[in-house]
Chains A and B, each alone.
Chain A
């Protein structure tokens, strides 16, 4: 399903974090959002997720996301992997992935407390599915390990897997390889490619690693001071004078 942003604006006091940003993300593609520090990349994610109330319109297919609370947006199929790891540290990898199934499952306080058979079946079914996703992301060996005991790269991977476990239509990846070793980076890039190919989801990627973005993205939107300064395929964006100026600080 296509994700479209139209004239999305967000202000913090006098600062314009986003200034009528518009772009479209096609299903089955990786769409990178890049820009210098403070250009509004993370604000963009927060706007899509409904964390901040924004002006303009964010749509998924023909559903309007603007104005919905974050959990309702998640329910419609938008999942996010956080830049600074936001996992439950003491919980196991399995439990962390199971949280992502929240909107696909129904067991409430009462039925869980009573241990109804319906609840146990649901739990088994989703645990099996989560185990598959863990295998897909190479986490099957550590399913029962508390997240806090994993390495940084490992936790980053769980962050990615959790977003995937939500069965998203749109996958938001906020610097998924930041701080990773070279080897871990390569694995994650392969995973993102695989996700695009196998699942056909729309991937929105915020990343600082330029060679990686140029190699991976199908389309790139460049933000600077909250505005879109370029939008297009990597080859096009790479040559764009505004982009060169924003990145290199060259005066035209």
Chain B
């Protein structure tokens, strides 16, 4: 694909995404916001798992850190449900959102003595602990989290303009721009920024270092890559992405409960990045849209889809169907991509050497100036 084609494609896709709120109803806008939140979270995870090769099952923990961090920092103190008293910092909401992302990153940094020293699989197993500890805190730190019943999430607003609420009223091209429409753009802006930033990191110096670290840690260290720092760095980065995703999930759902932020959520994110191909930012986005969108759509249209049972009936209900589907998807994509790689390798064996360059040619390619520069070992 040529550069021009790609640019045209990107612009067209962005155009469609920007135009969506003029055509979609509230349900689809909400699905879209959830998808974009998940895309951000999945991008963070694919950098950690796919690029750096550090497995993490703690993603739900950092999503919760962002979501609850925002709800607490932006929330006003007051009465919660079931007779609890909620604390809240009452900060301006954009500031609270920034701090919540920092909080998630800080939580990642606090875990980095472990995350930096454990490689790959070990981290995956150890990170399970964070999910359980995190959920325990969510259930028990009632003044902050609201306990079992959770707490409601304040709308994001700048100088009285509700970025995720209905006030002041706004009508564009005959379409009323309420909470769902505005939230769409907030989420879209965050997702695009997250996508661009992660793409640069993966293509740039940190990405190259992390990819070699995943494939051969000793070689990476011998080429000057400080492994601990990159393991910890990737962990903090993915925690911050998860934090941002958590905030958007909280803004979309408007109420957050601890039950949601369990191991199942971590595994859903893992499914997203596996389906998209480990380490691929674009793939993570596609996987996230699929894994998040599918259950929402299935339960929305569940009655119209013949083979699915209603909850409580015998047979396969929508939630079960979705879980089986992404369980199977993980298995299928791992096996599928391995088989594909093997086939590609077999096909390659027939091709002639890609290098048939003689020393003469190498010498000719080296002008005198370059030679002198080689001697100076220019940095």
Contact = CB atoms under 8 A, between A and B. Distances in A.
Are A and B close enough to touch in the complex, i.e. CB under 8 Å?
yes
B205 A107 contact: yes
Interface residues of B, number: 49
A157 interface: yes
Q: Is the interface of B mostly helix, strand, loop or mixed?
A: helix
A212 interface: no
A90 to B, nearest CB: 8
Interface in A95-150: 95-96, 98-100, 102-105, 107-109, 112-115, 119, 123, 129, 132-133, 135-142, 145, 148-150
B359 to A, nearest CB: 4
B373 to A, nearest CB: 7
B221 A70 contact: yes
B375 A198 contact: yes
B370 A132 contact: yes
B233 A109 contact: yes
B358 interface: yes
Interface in B188-238: 196-198, 200-201, 204-209, 211-212, 215-216, 218-227, 233, 237
Nearest to A188: B359
Interface stretch (A13-21, A71-79, A215-223): A71-79
Contacts of A154: 353-355
A199 B374 contact: yes
Interface stretch (B88-96, B144-152, B360-368): B360-368
Contacts, number: 163
A141 B356 CA distance: 10
B378 interface: yes
A232 interface: no
Nearest to B227: A71
Contacts of A104: 379
Contacts of A214: none
A70 B358 CA distance: 34
A136 B206 contact: no
A112 B237 CA distance: 13
B353 A51 contact: no
Nearest to A157: B355
A132 B373 contact: yes
B348 A149 contact: yes
B206 A135 contact: no
B237 to A, nearest CB: 6
B204 A112 contact: yes
B371 interface: yes
B201 A71 contact: no
Interface of B: 196-198, 200-201, 204-209, 211-212, 215-216, 218-227, 233, 237, 345, 348, 351, 353-355, 357-359, 361-363, 365-366, 370-371, 373-375, 377-379
Given A109-B233, A112-B201, A123-B205, 19 more contacts: A71-B225, A88-B215, A88-B216, A98-B205, A99-B220, A99-B225, A107-B206, A108-B233, A109-B237, A115-B200, A135-B362, A135-B370, A136-B370, A138-B355, A149-B351, A166-B224, A186-B359, A199-B374, A200-B375
